[in-house]
Structure 1
Amino acid sequence: MTEKTARVRATTHRLIASRYPPIGVFDDLTKDKDELAIAFLLESATNDRLGIIAGRLNLLPPEEIVQGFGATLVMGAFLHADAAGGRFTDGRLGAWYASFDVDTAITETLHHSTLRLKMSEGAFPTSIQMRTLVARIDCPLVDVRGKRDERPELYETDDYAKAQAFGVALRWPKTGEGANGIVYESVRRAEGVNVCVYKPSLIKLPVNQADHYEYRWDARGDVRVLKITNVEQGRGA
């Protein structure tokens, strides 16, 4: 089946835990791609998931190892991904999952954070601080918007098995070049739109930090979202 594509020019919003450093080895413009890869693996040497991270790095061709202001934040989306995968990715390699607006990005991350916490004993009450990453994209993506009735397997709320298979076939086809990614409707927030971008080079640098939030769960697991501060990077997008 030939999938419909659409040129997507958009500002994307992605939330990550504030504990992750905003600057890292991929922000260095002086190293070549091989040096960057070695430096990253050395930096990650104390991580008990180093084997997984190294395997993911090997899946990216040299031209997809990006450099520049905010590049570490982009590369982190691909290398420090959930081993279970996401809606359109399996555990081999992450992607730039983001939303067209920050409210949808918050709703998406709240859902997944709550699910993870519910799997832990004594998880509530708790709080997590998050920061918003803002980056532009301008590329053709497989467009499955408006297809919830036609292709409901891509929009299952919690079972991603069929959607993952769909995404893997697009990303790593048996012949030809893989797709850039997918644009799709959010199942967590009405009118929300998400993207799953498969290639780091398609995320336009710089990546800027925007608002910081705190997710606070009470003892029952009910959550509130508080905006903490507004951070300006001093470099325009």
Structure 2
Amino acid sequence: MKITPLSERGLVRLIPATYHKPPALRGLVDTDDELAVLADIEGLTSARLTAERGRNLHLDRRELAWQRRRHDLAVYGNSHINAAFAYTRAGGNRFNDGDRGAWYCAWDVLTSVAEVAWHKTRELRYVGVFTETARYVELIADVIGDFPDLGDQPQHPALNPDPALGYPEGQALAGHIRREGHAGLIYPSVRHPTGRCLVLFEPTAIRNVRPGASWEISWTGTPDYSVTAL
């Protein structure tokens, strides 16, 4: 597999946007102080906070991104980085298993949209209702380093579009790459023609995270979706 050097600014990751919604617990309390107490209780089950406390068996807290304790020196994006590695999906994703997450991003936002929309469409297909509006926000990050690159191997088994076939192959490949000391992998997007993606296995590989644009993806009765920039 070839090795490609990167010095990239502005790689795009899309995450569900929740800032536009009121806190889910707010209706249960009368004051902000009471809300803070409930938030602390809720935090006991947070995978990110559990990892930051050193209680994740698969993620050493020393690997995580940390912000300085003084409020005026807080670094944006650290909690997003930690969450990407602490939260996992049962069975994992293409290049991470169910024990440890990874940071998936792309060179352009339409590739990221195609990737997240494919997963959301699959969820809607499971319930049989294609009526949904989902809002996402960009996380923009910089990456520097030398990475294995599947760009010249579009038929690699890890890129099989069927998750049942592609994910086990991809997870095995990622394990091998990590054992060789590589922090990530470049690969062609499986969901967007000509798209190019990068998966990062180590929190320290992600630099200068900042917020980007917001997007709304809508389904109105069919698996086809529309995309709107907000």
- What TM-score comes out, normalization by structure 2 length? 0.77
Q: Which amino acid aligns with 2:199?
A: C
1:9 maps onto 2:7 in alignment: yes
Spell out, residue by residue over 1:118-172, the C-alpha distance to the aligned partner (whole angstroms, 9 max, x if none).
1125x331111111110001012111111124xx20210123221211112222x
Letter in 2 for 1:157: P
Amino acid across the alignment from 1:60: L
Structure 1 residue runs of 4 or more that deviate by more than 6 Å after TM superposition: 48-56
Q: Map Cα deviations across residues 86-116 of structure 1 (whole Å, 9 max, x no partner).
A: 1111111111100011111111111111112
Match of 1:195 among 191, 195, 198: 198
| SS of structure 2 residue aligned to 1:59 | coil
How far apart are the structure 1 equivalents of 2:19 and 2:97?
Answer: 22
Length, aligned pairs only = 200
Compare CA radii of gyration and give the structure with the larger one. 2
- Alignment partner of 1:144 is 2:143: no
Aligned counterpart, 2:120: 113
Matched, 1:87 2:94: yes
| Mapped partners of 2:146, 2:47: distance in 1 | 36
The unaligned stretches of length 5 or more in structure 2 are: 21-39, 67-74
Corresponding position of 2:110: 103
User: Deviation at 1:84?
Assistant: 2.2
Structure 1 unmatched ranges of 5 or more: 22-40, 229-237
Deviates more, 1:210-219 or 1:59-68: 59-68
Are 1:214 and 2:216 an aligned pair?
Answer: yes
Helix, strand or coil at the partner of 1:148: coil
Mapping of 1:17-166 within 5 angstroms?
Answer: 17-19=16-18, 44-47=43-46, 57-67=56-66, 68-121=75-128, 123-149=129-155, 152-158=156-162, 159=165, 160-166=167-173
1:227–1:56 distance in 2 versus 1, CA, 3 Å: farther
Counterparts in 2 of 1:109 and 1:53: CA distance versus 1, 3 Å:
farther
- Seen in structure 2, the aligned counterparts of structure 1 residues 20 and 156 have a Cα distance that, compared at 3 Å, is farther
For 1:48 and 1:209, the matched residues in 2 are separated by 22
User: Of 165, 177, 182, which aligns to 1:179?
Assistant: 182
TM-score w.r.t. length of structure 1: 0.75
**In structure 2, C-alpha distance between the alignment counterparts of 1:56 and 1:95, rounded to whole Å:** 18
2:139–2:210 contact (8 Å) kept in structure 1: yes
Q: How far off is 1:82 after superposition?
A: 1.8
Shift, 1:50, TM fit: 8.8
